[in-house]
Amino acid sequence: MNQTDLQVLESNYQEENIVTLEWQEHIRRRPGMYIGKLGDGTSSDDGIYVLLKEVLDNSIDEYMMGFGKTIEVIIEDKNVTVRDHGRGVPLGKVKDVCSKMNTGAKYDSKAFKKSVGLNGVGIKAVNALSSQFYMESSREGQSKRVDFSQGLLSHENGIEKSGNGNGTLVGFTPDASIFGEYHYREEHIEPLLKNYVFLNTGLTIVFNGKKYNSKNGLEDLLNENLTSEELYPIIHLHGEDIEVAITHTNQYGEEYYSFVNGQHTTQGGTHLTAFREATARVIKEFYNRNFEYSDIRNGIVAAISIKVEEPVFESQTKTKLGSKEMGPDGISVSKHINDFLKKELDNYLHKHADTVEALQKKILDSEKERKAIAGVTKLARERAKKANLHNKKLRDCRIHYNDAKGDDREKTSIFITEGDSASGSITKSRDPNLQAVFSLRGKPLNSYGLTKKIVYENEEFNLLQAALNIEESMDGLRYNKVIIATDADTDGMHIRLLLLTFFLQFFPDLVKKGHVYIFQTPLFRVRNKKKTIYCYTEEERVNAIDELGPNPEITRFKGLGEISPDEFRNFIGEDIRLDKVTMRKEDLLKELLEFYMGKNTPERQTFIIDNLVLEEDEVA
């Protein structure tokens, strides 16, 4: 920088350049600081769900304090209302709690000892980021309502007589000027509400007329999320400020659900680390065998919920616990969890012989398989190195999920493609900072019914596992989105199913945590001299022809390799179309894979024929 540049900078840095933003303006300019990413509602962690959760958390805190057993939630289009039956906000402070930063009751731990929201920001963020927001508090026969628009007060009632029962009603509409064209989706709202009732037995949440409640807490949570049959009845243990549920299945890997003060800590934290270690240690000591922790935890499905006084999270969205102590008494989170499991889990195992037998068999089976693949693991790693992974199979990106931050972390992705032509087109079109490409050679092996040994013996699987960096655990995952990008034909569909079978068999947590996607590519290009429209369905093609008028040029894309790099840029940028692969208990994973990928070829042929006949009947 030369002297002239320095003089220009100096002249531009005067008193008038110092700006003080109003509270709502700061939130609106920097929403990511308060609610994470924005999004349009297609992902469960999009900002509109964080707004809903911030309001719900206040109602849940009231329930946890012993006030109000029912919360009503109504979402109609983009308008949200939440009504609890707690004590109601003190009427003289209704406006302040909505619009004054760092204002709330939760700084006084006597009133909200183990609350999630401690910084007085949440409801203010909802207010600032909503085009319309109101709060009405009813308390001892009186009520008070305030209305805002984009965080600015638009109307304020005086204190009035009211026949409403005690409680707080909050209504808001997320601001489309910030969130764009968004929609609330029930498939993301329902799990959120279910988690609330699982963690608060006795609470009822009514969502658009449908009731949610739970009698068995975390046991119900595991039963809701299990996609494989448990090997022994769920171990469900309660203690002071702690609840855990544990079982094992025959799936690979480890699956955990962790919560702090009712907050779903999807990124884990100190409590989950302590829980994983303490669980394995107690089981190892019970059997008095030199079991490996990895063998003990293989196939585990477990949940832990703890209550911490004044918890410290690593971000405003509270997805990872940073606290090392349970509260001001100095007891560490690790010691609290370890002492609880050492007593309660050990006692449980001494009383349930069938569980002890089933668990030991699972550990021994895991140990046997681990030793069986030990010999090929070293060889597989050497093969991966010799294959010169980063130059031949993988065109890597510069930024990775496991070390990125903010929006970059969410945008990291890897395309799994078939053939050199498709991978070449995507490679030339991608964002090299955030998008990687892995090229398959031919069709992958059908891995259904095989052991994990095949992951190391099969070169394609071995190299793919190495590229994703998930050999040891999900903690090393290098890309947020694992995108299966195959041709829109029968061969492409077959490759897609073979890859899904691989992930579901050996890395189910990759799917359960929402990292696996299907890439949607256009089937047609319809264009004239003035406009080009890419169509993903036959219906879109017909509409495009109607829009462009007579005799447009129509191209049918048969494969990804036919699409030029210049055109590909239209499909893998901001407007990329992805279908997330999800797993639900009702999917019956074992039966699903056995039917579609097993050795029952005649049965599948009959199924295909019957369904083809059905479609012909429908057309007729």
Q: Is residue 616 part of a domain?
A: no
Q: What is the pLDDT of residue 408?
A: 83
DSSP E strand stretches across 455-542: 481-485, 516-519, 524-527, 532-535
Which amino acid type is present at position 450?
A: L
Q: Which residues of 417-448 are buried (b: 16+ CB within 10 A; e: fewer)?
A: bbbeebbbbbbebbeeebbbbbbbeeebbbbb
Task: Please check the confidence at residue 482 and state whether its pLDDT lies above 80.
Answer: yes
- Bridge partners (DSSP) listed for residue 107: none
Task: Please check the confidence at residue 617 and state whether its pLDDT lies above 50.
Answer: no
| Chosen domain end from 170, 190, 212 | 212
Put simply, whether the predicted model's pTM sits higher than 0.85 gets the answer no
Q: Is residue 598 part of a domain?
A: no
Q: What is the pLDDT of residue 492?
A: 85
- Per-residue pLDDT band at 618 (split at 50, 70, 90): very low
Residues 223 and 365 in one domain: yes
Residues 403 and 487 in one domain: yes
Say which range, 87-101, 228-242, 271-285, 289-303, has the weakest mean pLDDT. Answer: 87-101
SS3 of 327, please?
coil
Residues 192 and 43 in one domain: yes
What's the CATH number where 516 sits? 3.40.50.670
Say which range, 42-56, 120-134, 263-277, 597-611, has the weakest mean pLDDT. Answer: 597-611
What mean pLDDT do residues 433-459 have? 87
Residues 539 and 578 in one domain: no
What mean pLDDT do residues 375-385 have? 66
- Per-residue pLDDT band at 509 (split at 50, 70, 90): confident
Q: Is residue 204 part of a domain?
A: yes
Residues 301 and 336 in one domain: yes
Q: Is residue 383 part of a domain?
A: no
What mean pLDDT do residues 107-119 have? 51
What mean pLDDT do residues 574-593 have? 77
What's the CATH number where 184 sits? 3.30.565.10
pLDDT digits (tens, 9 = 90+) for 520-552: 888 899 999 899 998 988 899 999 999 998 889
Residues 323 and 437 in one domain: no
- Average predicted confidence (pLDDT) for the chain: 85
What's the CATH number where 242 sits? 3.30.230.10
Q: At what angle do helices 186-199 and 218-225 cross, to 10 degrees?
A: 150
Q: Is residue 183 part of a domain?
A: yes
Task: Please check the confidence at residue 616 and state whether its pLDDT lies above 80.
Answer: no
SS3 of 207, please?
strand
Residues 42 and 94 in one domain: yes
- Tally of structural domains, the chain: 4
What mean pLDDT do residues 424-437 have? 90
Residues 165 and 237 in one domain: no
Task: Please check the confidence at residue 280 and state whether its pLDDT lies above 90.
Answer: yes
d(CA 501, CA 446): 7
- Per-residue pLDDT band at 592 (split at 50, 70, 90): confident
- Per-residue pLDDT band at 393 (split at 50, 70, 90): confident
Cα separations in angstroms, 550 against 29, 280, 533, 537, 538: 47, 69, 14, 20, 17
Q: What is the pLDDT of residue 118?
A: 42
Domain span at residue 335 reads 218-369
Q: How many CB atoms lie under 10 A from the CB of residue 292? A: 15
Cα 359 → chain centroid: 29
Residues 145 and 252 in one domain: no
Task: Please check the confidence at residue 209 and state whether its pLDDT lies above 50.
Answer: yes
Residues 46 and 192 in one domain: yes
Q: Is residue 601 part of a domain?
A: no
- Per-residue pLDDT band at 615 (split at 50, 70, 90): very low
| Chosen domain end from 165, 187, 212 | 212
Residues 69 and 204 in one domain: yes
DSSP structural state of residue 144 = E
- Per-residue pLDDT band at 79 (split at 50, 70, 90): very high
Tokens of 57: 């958390």
Q: Is residue 7 part of a domain?
A: no
Task: Please check the confidence at residue 111 and state whether its pLDDT lies above 70.
Answer: no
Phi, psi at 443, each rounded to 5°: -85, 135
Residues 404 and 530 in one domain: no
Q: Containing H/E element for 450?
A: none
Q: At what angle do helices 490-506 and 589-597 cross, to 10 degrees?
A: 140
Q: Is residue 507 part of a domain?
A: yes
